[in-house]
Structure 1
Amino acid sequence: METLAKSDPRAGQAHAIAPADVQRAAEVIRGHVLRTPLVPSPCLSELTGAEVWVKHENMQATGAFKERGAVNKLAGLDADERRRGVVAMSAGNHAQAVAYHARRFGVPATIVMPVTTPLVKVENTRAHGARVVLHGDTLVEAAEEARRLEREGSLVLVHPYDDPAVMAGQGTVALEMLDEVPDLDCLVVPIGGGGLISGIAVAAKARRPGIEVIGVEAALYPSFHNAIHGGDRPIGGPTLAEGIAVKTVGRLTLPIVRDLVGAIVLVDEPAIERAVHACATLQRTMAEGAGAAGLAAMLAEPERFRGKRVGLVLCGGNIDARLLASVMVRELERKNCIASLRIKAQDRPGILGRVASRLGELGANILEVSHSRLFLDVPAKGVTIDVTIETRDRAHTAEIFTALAEDGYDPLRVDAQGLSESAY
């Protein structure tokens, strides 16, 4: 595994892994991780204009692709290393993978996680039997603590991406995809530290030299984009795709990404949210923000993928239930299937009932209502009624606003910033 491979002809240096390393990793992990299904997605194909095939890595035991690299690394430990144990730093999925398989192999595991890690990932990691240490706000700070524990306890560090064994393990995703659909034109892969995409690129380019490998980063964390293009885009901020929110690119992964990845697409938060929603409603599957990043890229730049046979790596599905619920509702609001409106009227008996009945006649479902007489911009004998409604679509919402205006209610739209300037 440590043998360096010859680089791509465009590069002047060797890569950390060769295609043979990925092939060997496939043999090592067989029987330890799930060979996840690669399925065609007619709904996502219609949405994007490409022929989409989805690799469901969210079906692994811990919900993400990280198990592949973790198993390949753990299986290579000698008896003394297994006795001493391992340490890893992670925002969640790598942590769960190392903890889960370390217990299977009988290896003590310590996992350092940023304090900002979603609770579901922290608790799942503990449930797999690992000692969890919460340290720092970022992966950089967690990594510093992991290195300290590595030195003090003579532990073996299982790096989430900058390790040849881990990179080769992740690359087995590409082998499985091309085994099943050999003529894929393009693979779309989320990028955090680069372990997944570097392993996939090495394996895929060896198997099918003409295949295009496209990386996807959250726009708030354009680490590889900056490194490759010499950019200085700011890095940091709250992102739904915390699994790829990495500020520092891998020393071993960067040369591979630079040489073998055709392009890096940056996706903003609304695109990621839309992709998570589409995975749930169209693909009927759970995707965390990082897991849906590939689809977000296809939605953000459809012309890049139109007409191509695209392999989409849904790399993880560990999303907090409350966060998923929020994303689903926010997408309904973007589509104007949920809308809030304000009506000002004279305070007469039955006014609230009449408004509610009219909304029912128009086919709206009332989700929330607020009835107030205390706003100072309302006459003393007046009342405001704030109503949040659910509708079929944007056109239905517009019809409701028009009908209320014709009824003399003069509704005003209420959005996240408050009252809008017009009714709709």
Structure 2
Amino acid sequence: MNTRKSENIYQEAVKYIPGGVNSPVRAFKSVGLNPIFVDKAKGSKIYDVDGNEYIDYICSWGPLMLGHSNEDVLSGVEEIIRKGTSYGVPTEIEVKMAKLIVDAYPAVEMVRMVNSGTEATMSALRVARAYTKRNKILKFEGCYHGHSDSLLVKSGSGTITYGVPTSPGVPKDVVKDTLVCRYNDLESVQKIFKEHGNDIAAVIVEPVAGNMGVVAGKKEFLEGLRTITKEYGSVLIFDEVITGFRLAFGGAQEVYGIEPDMTCFGKIIGAGLPVGAYGGKREIMEMVSPVGPVYQAGTLSGNPLAMYMGYKNISILKENKNIYKELEQKAIKLENGFKENLEKLNVKGTVNRAGSLVCLFFAEGPIENYEDVMKCDVEKFNIYFKELLKRGILLAPTQFEAMFLSNAHTDEDIEYTIKASYEAMEIAFDK
């Protein structure tokens, strides 16, 4: 596999960009490589600057459910660009997009567009604090909610990968009101609420954790969170940046049958463009300026390009809900193939799947929380990753991320992935 051009670009990149990348996991450092640089992508494939072709299971970290450069999504985008990319004043497409989200999520009565998942979670927590007149928030070990200061406490993929449970530069006074519990452990939540319940403004949770691999919240755990937050008057926030419109059209809350008080969305509502949103019950969202006193603003929030792309993407999913069934069938095929490989090679591993999210952990299961995930054999994964890359399979370059499928992935893609996975695993475990 020739990577000469990627290597040259990387050597230039490190001169001007920290680590040569604009997001840490892209650096490929955890797998002992330098990054590949992408030239283009189409369907289920990514092509790097050296002309190498890869079956892509990153899919821009989730939003590309219809694959790369989908013609139906892209149709008409040139006209939008010619009209203007940003105005700083309202456009009708923002209203259409908001209505589409509200119609899809009964728990969301009003929604505010922002520019990223980080901005969505940060803003939602600020609103929750104002609404409850409380300061403390509760999150879960291994759940990642973006890089705002108060949430960088035992967070997910990037910080797990580099072994940093909290980030330097975050003042102790900022995180003193952030409480951390064990994921899928309701007893730990009940205990902390007994001690701090009247001071807890919000509980924020990934209903399916997607930044420590794939770890689904147990139904009784999530139902317990709903019960205890109602009891204490705390705001329950579902971070659906990964699961929103992907796990189902109505996200994890549709699958679990649980309505949170607030919901956060990410790049899927922009078809992969930089965008996010937070929404919830009307009385909570009316705390947001200019209606209420909670200030939050953004020049590019609801920009017409992201709104147009997102509206097209979500509309296609709404009109073709069979896509979800097709995606799950593909994911089940991949899951079963991985399980068969583990059995044939007598390798200790666990495959977790939630809808079209799949993760192969090199550790004995069950994998239900951060502690379980940290038992993984990262060295074996790194070898496995490199061998898959040689065979034209692109996974996230860390053990602690999900594999994302799109409806552009073919049966042939999946069958080849299972075969290549067997070969890579055989080498990694020297069978």
TM-score > 0.5, shorter chain as reference: no
Greater Cα radius of gyration, structure 1 or 2 = 1
TM-score normalized with structure 2 length: 0.31
Query: RCO higher in 1 or 2 (8 Å CA, sep ≥ 6)?
Result: 2
TM-score normalized with structure 1 length: 0.31
